[in-house]
Amino acid sequence: MARAEAVRLGADLVMFAEQFLAGYPAEDLVLKPAFQDSCRAALERLARETADGGPGMLIGLPWREGDELYNAYALLDGGSISVRFKVDLPNYGVFDEKRNFAAGPLPGPVNFRGIRLGIPICEDIWTGDVVECLAETGAEMLLVPNGSPYWRGKTEERFNIAAARVTESGLPLVYLNQVGGQDELVFDGASFVLNADSSLACQLPANEEIVALTTWTKGEEGWACREAPVVTVEEGEEADYAACVLGLRDYVEKNRFPGVVLGLSGGIDSAICAAMAVDALGPERVHCVMLPYRYTSGESLKDAEACAQMLGVRYDILPIAAPVEGFEAALEPIFAGRERDITEENLQSRARGTILMAISNKFGAMVVTTGNKSEMSVGYATIYGDMNGGFNPIKDLYKMEVYRLAALRNRWKPKGALGPDGIVIPENILTKAPTAELREGQKDQDSLPPYEDLDEILRGLVEEELRVSDIVAKGYDPEVVKKVERLLYVAEYKRRQAAPGVKVTRRNFGRDRRYPIVNRYRDQGLAAHRKDEALERAIGKPRMGSMDM
């Protein structure tokens, strides 16, 4: 379809993203010989199409050559195939390419109808070596296919890297990025073109598949993009919200679920997840269920119903007293003589999770789980209960970020969203104190520090890997920081069993942050590299060959 559109537009060459034929990242699927064969066969079919004299094609795929598998980018023209291999394989954060691919040699340009095209692939432009080699061997422009996932602030980072390569090489650069969700990653597109003077010649939209024509001319200074669309790309919280919607939409659509179901509690987390689901799929594909028990307030019932009405979704109320009391009756013989505690609270959450999963099994809709990053960090969630579900759009958003995005959605709606305009989350949900309502008068901050403090402590521990002493130096109580760190570590086993969710921050749980479940290490809060006597008395003099944990 894209090539047909390129024919209609009169284009000479149509460019696709990194690993387009395989999908990126395909992870260990690319190691499967049958999958490699399928990608190669698809490429050869596309190459035969270019024998018609129409536009050439640039497209990515895994390419087996001898004993090595490469991350390759192929030029198809006149029925023939020319390939270049990725040199710099990222192996940090969400990237694991050295596991799957061999590094290619430094490339020269590829000839396309008399024009020498330099094709550095994604990470190849994050350092200068590949572009330098291409410039020295006669490249006239740089065409860069990318599978660059979104995280906050990524747009500016990409521009800075691209501008550095343009400045060094003196060549114009086309930055083409993948669009769509793949498991926990969202690829936001936002492709652009920089001319040789680093001026922006083209900016395509974020989170939207598009075929766009760029028109180029060659003058004394070389090639320049003279005509192309330039649009405004969402930034900041708007970009975060749009990424969450795209990630949820593609997870549901690509896994062929007919819709989603979620528990609507009257709280902020379920409300924003419901709004994101409606924006992603439309109200007719979202089913919200209130699951009240004796501790569910009238205020929560009222807020949940109002939110469902604003969003236009199906809304059912299914009381959980019978299953909860049934569980308690079944357990009574072995619980006899013991005080009620968090065990009984968790039975409520697990009854709700079981009911939602039963609805999912019966009707095929995927359960959306609604825990935010603050809760997932410290284990303030019930495994096999409110953690049940197939996908979590707010998994990488801290609690205070959830509040800000909810307020944002009430005054703004992303392009392409299928939900209603205007207010979709009742104001009372934004202003009341958060509570799980698992016991009388419960509030979240009976168990946790204020979310304003908790989120900042967690950013220090998770995103920045700060020492406890570094966080304490910012003014936080040492015992509170140590408690949060302990909760963060002991909740690792829960996070391993949690649903996938959209990556928004630079460092999410799962692909970015990989900690052992069995882990007794705790930061005692001592300042780094202090050699004074007080420190030695506090921690003991170190001995060769030993380490206290």
Looking at residue 92, what is its pLDDT? Answer: 85
Q: Which amino acid is at 105?
A: P
pLDDT tens by residue, 172-197: 999 999 999 999 999 999 999 999 99
pLDDT over 90 percentage in the chain? 83
Residue 536 has pLDDT above 80, yes or no: no
C-alpha–C-alpha distance, residues 235 and 190, integer Å: 11
Q: What is the pTM of this model?
A: 0.90
Q: 273: Cβ–Cβ under 8 A, 6 or more apart, which residues?
A: 262, 368, 370, 392, 393, 394
Q: What is the pLDDT of residue 148?
A: 94
Confidence tier at 535 by pLDDT (50, 70, 90): very low
Find out whether 92 is annotated in a ligand binding site: yes
| Residue 318, marked binder | no
- Distance between CA 126 and CA 53 in Å, rounded? 35
Distance (Å, whole) CA 371 – CA 501: 10
pLDDT computed for residue 547 by the predictor: 30
Looking at the predicted structure, is the pLDDT value of residue 521 above 70? Answer: yes
389 contacts: CB under 8 Å, gap ≥ 6? 262, 356, 366, 367, 368, 369, 370, 499
272 is in an annotated binding site: no
What distance lies between CA 544 and its chain's CA centroid?
Answer: 43
Q: Catalytic: which of 27, 65, 68, 122? A: 122
- Is 462 in contact with 508 (CB distance < 8 Å)? no
- 49 tagged catalytic: no
Whether 268 has a binding-site annotation, put simply, is: yes
Among 60-64, 337-341, 510-514, the range of highest mean pLDDT: 60-64
Q: Is 264 annotated among the ligand-binding residues?
A: yes
Whole-number pLDDT of residue 529: 53
DSSP letter at 267 equals: S
Ligand-binding site membership of 349 (annotated)? no
Is 346 known as a binding-site position? Answer: yes
Q: What is the pLDDT of residues 128-149, one digit of tens each?
A: 999 999 999 999 999 999 999 9
Rounded mean pLDDT of the chain? Answer: 91
**CA–CA distance, 485 with 471 (Å, rounded to integer):** 11
Q: Supply angle C-alpha 35, 74, 70, rounded to 5.
A: 55
Instruction: Say how many C-beta atoms besides its own lie within 10 A of residue 172's C-beta.
Output: 24
From the candidates 86, 373, 395, 503, which is the catalytic residue? Answer: 86
- pLDDT-derived band at 540 (thresholds 50, 70, 90) equals very low
Q: How confident is the model at residue 530 (pLDDT cuts 50, 70, 90)?
A: low
Q: Answer left, alpha or beta for residue 216, where phi above 0 means left and psi between -120 and 50 means alpha.
A: beta
Query: Does the annotation list 38 as a binding residue?
Result: no
Annotate 395-453 with DSSP letters as a single string: TT--HHHHHHHHHHHHH---TT--SPSS--S-HHHHHSPP---SSTT--GGGTS--HHH
69-116: pLDDT as tens digits: 999 999 999 999 999 999 999 988 888 899 999 999 999 999 999 999
DSSP 382: -
- Nearest of 291, 259, 287 to residue 274 by alpha carbon: 287
**Nearest Cα residue to 207 out of 279, 274, 283:** 279
Closest residue by Cα to residue 168 from 191, 143, 124, 198: 198
Cβ burial 32-60 (10 Å sphere, 16+ → b, else e): eeeebeebbeebeebbeebeeebbbbbbb
Secondary structure string (H, E, C) spanning 471-509: HHCCCCCHHHHHHHHHHHHHCHHHHHCCCCECCCCCCCE
Would you say 374 is a known binding-site residue?
no
Convert the pLDDT of each residue in 480-503 to its tens digit: 999 999 999 999 999 999 999 999
Digit-coded pLDDT (tens) for 440-480: 777 777 778 899 999 999 999 999 999 999 999 999 999 99
Q: Is the pLDDT of residue 62 over 90?
A: yes
Q: Return the structure tokens found at 62.
A: 């895994």
202 is catalytic: no
Residues 397-445 have pLDDT tens digits of 999 999 999 999 999 999 999 999 999 999 999 999 888 767 777 777 7
Assess whether 18 carries a catalytic annotation.
yes
Q: What is the pLDDT of residues 350-402, one digit of tens each?
A: 999 999 999 999 999 999 999 999 999 999 889 999 999 999 999 999 999 99
Cβ atoms within 10 Å of 105's Cβ, excluding its own: 9
In the chain, the domains with their CATH numbers are 1-233 (3.60.110.10), 237-440 (3.40.50.620)
The 3-state DSSP class for residue 419 equals: coil
Q: 62: part of which helix (H) or strand (E)?
A: strand 56-65
- Does 154 count as an annotated binding residue? yes
What was the pLDDT predicted at 537? 47
